[in-house]
A and B are shown apart, each in its own frame.
Chain A
Amino acid sequence: MFFNFFIMYWFVGHKSKINQNYILILASYYFYSCWDWRFLFLLVFSTLLDYVSAMKIEQSKTPFERKMWLWLCISINLGFLGIFKYYNFFATSFAELLQGFGLTASPILLKLILPVGISFYTFHGLSYIIDIYYKRIKSEKNFVDYSLFVSYFPLLVAGPIERATHLLPQIKRRRKFNFEKAKEGIYQIVWGLVKKVVIADSCAIYANEIFDNYSTMNSLSLILGAIYFSFQIYGDFSGYSDIALGTSKLFGIDLLKNFNYPYFSRDIAEFWRRWHISLSSWFRDYLYIPLGGSKGNKLFQVRNTFIIFLVSGFWHGANWTFIVWGLINALYFLPLLLLNRNRKNVDAFTLGFNIESIRILFNITTTFAITALAWIFFRSKTITDAYNYIIRMFSDLHFSEQYFRIERYSHNLIALILVFVLVEWNNRNRIEPISGKYSWLKLGLCLAAIVALGVFSDYKEFIYFQF
């Protein structure tokens, strides 16, 4: 089906931007309806709401009227997100709180399916509305163009969260086929598939076994479990982003970069500049800066930092584990903020045979270790599980290999992960490792890795589709 849309786009619709946009909208709505057509109305409603609100904000004669339209639009958008994603969480948490005071409550829970991509397209639309409110951009009058901005299929279900300033100008002009860009897109898709089916899905088999049976695992297995999950979530999400960015390039549209080799970060601040970049920058621009950002005294900055990390954690899902994950990252960030070192590692680095390089490698390893520790909360079902997992990891102190019920040894994946890390390390200044010299050979190796090492019989949907 994707191939059909590609053919239509470049062979039928290539003469005008209008045709191209209609074909992309058709593809996007088809793509979304493949998950659940019943939620198409929500997508259309969200599009209409933001489209109309943006024009109303622009046409408003008084600041009050502008503000009113802004908040109305934000409230409705967040209201939908709240009902679908957070209602049951708040209802059960409130009931538990009452139980703590000896009162009984039976909350009415809603049996709702979470519409796929709702967190992404809601934030997508909000950024547009806020940009209009602050007069950074003009509202889009063409409904087709605006609809495409919201529903563009490569980014619809799991981002990257685009900005109107970046995507709309591309939508508004006719795309011409560019061979180099399309080739780059194919390489990026192939590398994304390696990350997803070879790395993430292989790690998932081990991580699931270890996390689901953590009480019977020894220290070594628990450490490996945290490492496997770290690579699972990285391979899964950055793999999806690569596929999305690569697919979009095939249609002549560049999307925002979402990952920049985050596990090679030298401190947690750098990690957050490299991990899920479109969400981090969204929170920076639309929450952190409006809250005052790094202006004001330290206490004020600390408050803002904690707010964005907690909100970021909560954005991921309606569970206390995500909130604690956000809190832990805020705590990691705190010393850097207090010592004014949060922007210390913004430059690129090279390694050599010197003390500085050892220090850099040590910092990278330490940052990865603390990140992996925080991921335990992200992966665990409850805070108690995460706590017990960590306690057992540091108290069991047995480091022998374990043979799992899934008929594999705990350490089986280490070699694969090391090869992956080496490939990423050698290509950390590029988008993907395939292009350049010997690209056909590298493409062949990647394809061989996908078919020979990929996990196909135990398919797992992308983790971020649930957010």
Chain B
Amino acid sequence: MKQFIQFLLKGLAILILTMILLDVLYTTVYMQSKSRNKISYIFSSKDKDFDVVFLGSSRVNNHFVPKIFNDQGYKTFNFGITRSRLEESALMLKLMVENNYKIENLILQVDLNINTNDHSEAIRSLFMPYFHTSKTIRNHYKDIPEYNKLLYIPFYRYLHYDARVGFREFYQTAIQKPTNSLDRDGFYPLMTDKRPMVAADLSKYYPKKNKAYEEIKAICKANNINLIAMTTPMCMETINRDYFNHINKVYPEIRRFENLVTEDKYFSTCGHMNKGGAEKFTKEVFNLLFKPKSKP
């Protein structure tokens, strides 16, 4: 039995050593990456100046065309990420502030995402390679149940979130396979229209006070960032559009732009506009809230 216990301990030592080596290897590779996704971009860039930054989910990623702002003399970037929720947007903003970004205006999508205080597991994964390096990320996640495991068990973060930062992503990062997430200043246009369009059903949605949104408001206030929170368009067939009226009961400051684009031809799906819709919407937003700058 003594021999067996020694054997088990040796095996355990090999396992721990393997996990440490893999953790170092994966982290090193991810740290070298600057452009696989918007989070790695924020993490690896410092001292950026932006007139306007867009944050939110796919309803930002597919809806705001920075070029339209840039053509008017503004420096903008679309940091919207498909599937992200306000919790991830808040952390992205914290990282921007930590990396000394100077942001004048933040356009934040606040509509369907205040139906819940939940997070996106898929997007949370993308922060994990920086978990040990960034105090901001650690602090942001200090209350999640996996916190101690993420902090103290080597490689646990890559194992637990293997779908997004596991071997496949590690390999593609290592070979520096390019992605399109930073093309067009972060805007990803939807080119195909799915027909027949299936109506989005918001009958079970109800806006609630959102912790991450409150956090974003506080960060903006502390860093002199002009926060413009707004809703973005959804097709007119949406069930329970009354949801948007309730948003202002919870947060009166949120600007209501869900009706800025209404025609079906501008929608790829009920919740996402196509390229034409995005351009029309961005122009409308620009005209309503900004004025052209004289180019230097």
Residues of A participating in the B interface, judged by any CB pair closer than 8 Å:
10, 177, 179, 182-183, 186, 408, 412, 440, 443-444, 447-448, 451-458
Contacts and interface: CB of A to CB of B under 8 A. Distances in A.
A179 B4 contact: yes
24 contacts: A10-B1, A179-B3, A179-B4, A182-B4, A182-B7, A183-B4, A186-B11, A440-B10, A440-B14, A444-B14, A444-B18, A447-B14, A447-B18, A448-B18, A451-B18, A451-B19, A452-B158, A454-B162, A455-B162, A456-B159, A456-B160, A456-B162, A457-B162, A457-B163
Interface string B89-129: 00000000000000000000000000000000100000000
A412 B171 CA distance: 12
B147 interface: no
Interface string B1-27: 101100110110011011100100000
Contacts of A444: 14, 17-18
Contacts of B43: none
B167 interface: yes
Contacts of B3: 179
Given A186-B8, A443-B11, A454 B159 contact: yes
Contacts of A408: 168
B67 to A, nearest CB: 26
Given A186-B7, A440-B10, A456-B159, 10 more contacts: A179-B3, A179-B7, A183-B4, A440-B14, A447-B11, A447-B15, A452-B22, A452-B158, A452-B167, A454-B159
Contacts of A186: 7-8, 11
A457 B156 CA distance: 11
Contacts of B10: 440
Contacts of A182: 4, 7
The 4 closest A-B pairs by CB, nearest first: A457-B163, A448-B18, A179-B3, A444-B14
Nearest to A457: B163
B155 interface: yes
Contacts of A412: 168
Nearest to A182: B4
A458 B163 contact: yes
A179 B121 CA distance: 43
Contacts of A452: 22, 158, 166-167
A440 B17 CA distance: 13
A234 B131 CA distance: 37
A453 B167 contact: yes
A33 B261 CA distance: 56
Given A444-B14, A447-B14, A457 B4 contact: no
A458 B160 CA distance: 9
A455 B14 CA distance: 20
Interface residues of B, number: 24
A436 to B, nearest CB: 15
Interface of B: 1, 3-4, 7-8, 10-11, 14-15, 17-19, 22, 121, 155, 158-163, 166-168
A182 to B, nearest CB: 5
Nearest to A10: B1
- Looking at A10, A452, A454, the one whose CB has the most chain B CB atoms below 10 A away is A452
A457 B167 contact: no
Contacts of A456: 159-160, 162
Given A186-B11, A443-B14, A457-B160, A448 B4 contact: no
B15 to A, nearest CB: 5
B22 A448 contact: yes
A456 B163 CA distance: 8
A423 to B, nearest CB: 18
A403 B161 CA distance: 22
A181 to B, nearest CB: 10
Nearest to B122: A457
A341 B4 CA distance: 47
A453 B171 CA distance: 11
Contacts of A440: 10, 14
Nearest to A205: B163
A451 to B, nearest CB: 6
Nearest to B155: A451
Contacts of B159: 451, 454, 456
A440 B14 CA distance: 8
Contacts of A179: 1, 3-4, 7
Nearest to A440: B14
A454 B161 CA distance: 11
A244 to B, nearest CB: 19
Contacts of B1: 10, 177, 179
A183 B6 CA distance: 11
A443 B1 CA distance: 20
A417 to B, nearest CB: 15
A458 B166 CA distance: 12
Nearest to B26: A452
Contacts of B14: 440, 443-444, 447
Contacts of A453: 167
Contacts of B161: 457
Contacts of B4: 177, 179, 182-183
A437 to B, nearest CB: 17
A64 B263 CA distance: 82
A406 B122 CA distance: 12
B284 to A, nearest CB: 32
Given A186-B11, A444-B14, A451 B22 contact: yes
A301 to B, nearest CB: 50
A412 B177 CA distance: 15
Nearest to A183: B7
A182 B2 CA distance: 12
A458 B164 CA distance: 11
Contacts of A451: 15, 18-19, 22, 155, 159
A440 B1 CA distance: 19
A3 to B, nearest CB: 10
